[in-house]
Amino acid sequence: MPWKRGQAAERPPGRILHLGTLVVAALMALGAPSRALAAELPLVVSVSVPPQAYFVERIGGERVEVHVLVPPGTSPATYEPSPRQMVALGRSRLYVEVGHPDFLFEQRHLETLLTGNTQVVTVDMAAGTGTFCQDEQGRELDGDPHIWLSPRLMRTAAANIEAELVRLDPEGAPYYRQNLESLLSDIERLDLELRQLLSGLQGRRFMVFHPAWSHFACEYGLRQMAIESGGKEPGPAQLVATIEEARREGIRVVFAQKGFSDRSARVIAAELDARVEELDPLAHDWLENLRFSAGRIAAALR
């Protein structure tokens, strides 16, 4: 089903969803919480990836308990949730979706994971984010699910998360609002800092293994060169073409990613007499990670 940007999440708030038999069995063994207990604080929230946890924790503070399904250093495309994680999900009142149709973890697992739970609701953190940037051919960057690497998009995502927390916990509304305003101020300061850091580099290209930085690059006027395409490493002919293109661009740094093989990155770096550095688009501390990553990219481009 295509992703409808600018619209509410396809699962409306409050819709009852369902957990799979493995989860039900595990909950029966451990003692599933009653509906009355489920309303107590802290509010249990599950998310797909660590950067989402950062946002929920910043907004929810001491009133939430957050569980991440895809742990740091693993690939969302291949990770399989553990029984322990499924039990934690069974206790959740809220699931925060990335919501992108090309985010394979949710496409493969979310419907099954949420089957049978009588209390969990979902929120699409990207609902209402509007039009994305475009690539060099004028195509919108719908194919890159790493939308959390865009400060602009995450302003809206933060507001979506806050609204759902308020709906589930009205007594905490002033607390959530204060925390949201603090987070939005931090995002605004970070955005200004990154624009200053990357000033004068517009149009420059940086090389990554996995094409995770499309939205970041487009937001700050940069151009991402990716080694991997369509989830596959390049074949011999494509590898040669990539090396030739990178040589023309004067690439001196190749950015690898945690959770992915860096074999092709090292082959290309050796041919270019370049170095391999690591960026982690899935790091938990979203704010500091974007600051760090932008600094490494700026240094590579300068």
Sign of CA dihedral 73, 74, 75, 76: negative
Helical segments of the chain, H only: 21-30, 35-38, 50-60, 83-90, 104-113, 151-168, 173-197, 214-219, 236-249, 263-272, 286-301
User: pLDDT of 222-273, one tens digit each?
Assistant: 999 988 876 677 778 888 888 999 999 999 999 998 767 778 888 889 999 9
pLDDT for 94 equals 94
Sign of CA dihedral 6, 139, 204, 279: positive
Backbone angles phi, psi at 88, to 5 degrees: -60, -40
Sign of CA dihedral 110, 113, 114, 120: negative
What CATH number does domain 202-301 carry, 1.10.1060.10, 3.90.320.10, 2.60.120.260, 3.40.50.1980?
A: 3.40.50.1980
Separation between Cα atoms, residue 35 and residue 205, nearest integer Å? 53
Q: How confident is the model at residue 89 (pLDDT cuts 50, 70, 90)?
A: confident
Q: How confident is the model at residue 145 (pLDDT cuts 50, 70, 90)?
A: confident
User: pLDDT of 155-213, one tens digit each?
Assistant: 999 999 999 999 999 999 999 999 999 999 999 999 999 999 999 999 999 999 888 99
| Token representation of residue 70 | 């895809």
Which CATH code is given to the segment(s) 21-193?
3.40.50.1980
Burial group, residue 34, by CB count within 10 angstroms (0-12, 13-18, 19+): exposed
Separation between Cα atoms, residue 286 and residue 36, nearest integer Å? 34
Separation between Cα atoms, residue 245 and residue 72, nearest integer Å? 32
Amino acid at 210: H
pTM of the model: 0.82
Question: Cβ atoms within 10 A of the Cβ of 57, count?
Answer: 18
Predicted confidence (pLDDT) at residue 102 exceeds the cutoff of 50:
yes
Residue appearing with tokens 């929230």: 45
Q: Which comes out higher in pLDDT, residue 154 or 141?
A: 154
| Token representation of residue 216 | 């970041």
User: pLDDT of 36-84, one tens digit each?
Assistant: 333 478 999 999 999 999 999 999 999 999 999 988 777 777 788 888 8
The answer to whether the CB of 207 falls within 8 A of the CB of 296 is no
pLDDT for 230 equals 66
Q: Is it true that 21-193 and 202-301 share their CATH fold?
A: yes
| Token representation of residue 9 | 């999440």
Query: DSSP assignment of 127-193, as one string?
Result: TT--PPPB-TTS-B-TT---GGG-HHHHHHHHHHHHHHHHHH-GGGHHHHHHHHHHHHHHHHHHHHH
Break the chain into its structural domains and give their ranges. Answer: 21-193, 202-301
pLDDT for 57 equals 98
